[in-house]
Amino acid sequence: MAGIYIHIPYCKQKCHYCNFYSFASSQFREQFVDALLNELSHRKNYLENAKVNTIYFGGGTPSMLSTDEINKIVKRIFTLFQVEDGAELTLEANPDDLNEAYLADLKNYTSINRLSIGIQSFFPQDLQYLNRVHDVRQARSSIELAVGNGFTNLTIDLIYGIPTLTIDNWKQNLEIFFSYQLPHLSSYSLTVEPKTALNTMIKKGEMQNVKEQQSIEHFKILLNETGRNAYVNYEISNFAREGYYSKHNSIYWLGGHYLGLGPSAHSFNGKSRQWNVSNMRKYIGEETVENIIEEKEILTPGQRFNEYVMTSLRTSWGCDSEHIQNVFGYKAMRHMEESIKEFIRDRKVKKEGSKYYLTGEGKLFADGIASALFL
């Protein structure tokens, strides 16, 4: 199982909370697509002939690309890599880009078969707080048009914990999602990252700050309501009907290998992790592809153990002590089993066979629990 991620750093405007490598422009568009194609050719052996099951256009706003540009990139991937029949090809899209003609072209002309739409909220005051470029009408019509154009594998993003989002409105956001009968939802708590406009504005007193208690209330509602509507919480922020788990993100969570292309993208081949430069001028300007790698690290067994614990605990597949013993040895397994006992006692973790899972209560403390288990 292997995946390819392509980072498209263009956006129409910068959302206040965003700390991804993206900018409000489409400068160097042609050179950027050429540089991506070039990087693909140079990295064709990175996955060592593993079958590619997923291709993911993330960003930024990949729906700012034309269908011709998407097609060019996809075709190059199909030429250079062994792409499995029925592979999942996802495009992240913003609602304001999804009109009838674009969706019809995506469906009929490119091989994109899954859309991830950045809705975030169905209420104008939240979209305004976040500085999203789209409005509520576009949020709704993008979903309706995508369904109408035959996209059945659809996911949307919703953000909770926004200071302007009341409990009632959060419940309504979820009700609207359920009413569309979509098979997948990604839902994240709003976090205030350093070096974002939101952080600066909160510090200046221009925006309301995020409240932890509000996020906790919203998360509890999210777990209850998605459960009542038969969605599986297969990763702490992801909810799906059976058969619609994100294959691409599952690669990250299950320790699979992936190749990341474009500025700021990162790649993992089981032994090492590497990052491309977060700088468009350098990305398109470097003469050799090796120069666009900003950082590379060989993971120690301890780092790999910590990553496994951190990601597996967040999933419905759980953290498996048998796997830990087989891969990291008896001592690591005993360390994990001893350290996790207090969380079982506090009903934050439950054990079934050799596997450990976070309970609903435990999901509120996922990061703290995982770090208490680290080597």
* Binding-site ranges for ligand SF4 (CB under 6 A): 11, 14-15, 18, 20, 22, 59-61, 94, 118
To ligand SF4, the closest distance from the beta carbon of 14 in angstroms equals 5
To ligand SF4, the closest distance from the beta carbon of 173 in angstroms equals 17
Alpha-carbon distances of 367 from 17, 213, 225, 312, 372, rounded to whole Å: 21, 17, 23, 12, 9
Distance CA 171, CA 210 (A): 18
11 vs 309, beta carbon nearer ligand SF4: 11
Whether the CB-CB separation of 322 and 66 falls below 8 Å is answered with no
229 vs 279, beta carbon nearer ligand SF4: 279
Residue closest to 118 by CA, chosen among 128, 104, 107, 132: 132
Element (H or E) spanning 106, and its range?
A: helix 100-109
63 vs 113, beta carbon nearer ligand SF4: 63
Which residue's beta carbon is nearest to the bound ligand SF4? 18
To ligand SF4, the closest distance from the beta carbon of 271 in angstroms equals 30
To ligand SF4, the closest distance from the beta carbon of 181 in angstroms equals 25
Element (H or E) spanning 328, and its range?
A: helix 321-328
20 vs 78, beta carbon nearer ligand SF4: 20
Q: Is 211 in a helix, a strand, or coil?
A: coil
9 vs 256, beta carbon nearer ligand SF4: 9
6 vs 15, beta carbon nearer ligand SF4: 15
To ligand SF4, the closest distance from the beta carbon of 59 in angstroms equals 5
To ligand SF4, the closest distance from the beta carbon of 118 in angstroms equals 6
Distance CA 188, CA 190 (A): 6
The long-range contacts involving 217-221, CB below 8 angstroms and separated by at least 24 positions, are 217/167, 218/160, 218/161, 218/165, 218/167, 218/170, 218/189, 219/160, 219/161, 219/189, 219/363, 219/364, 220/360, 221/167, 221/170, 221/171, 221/174
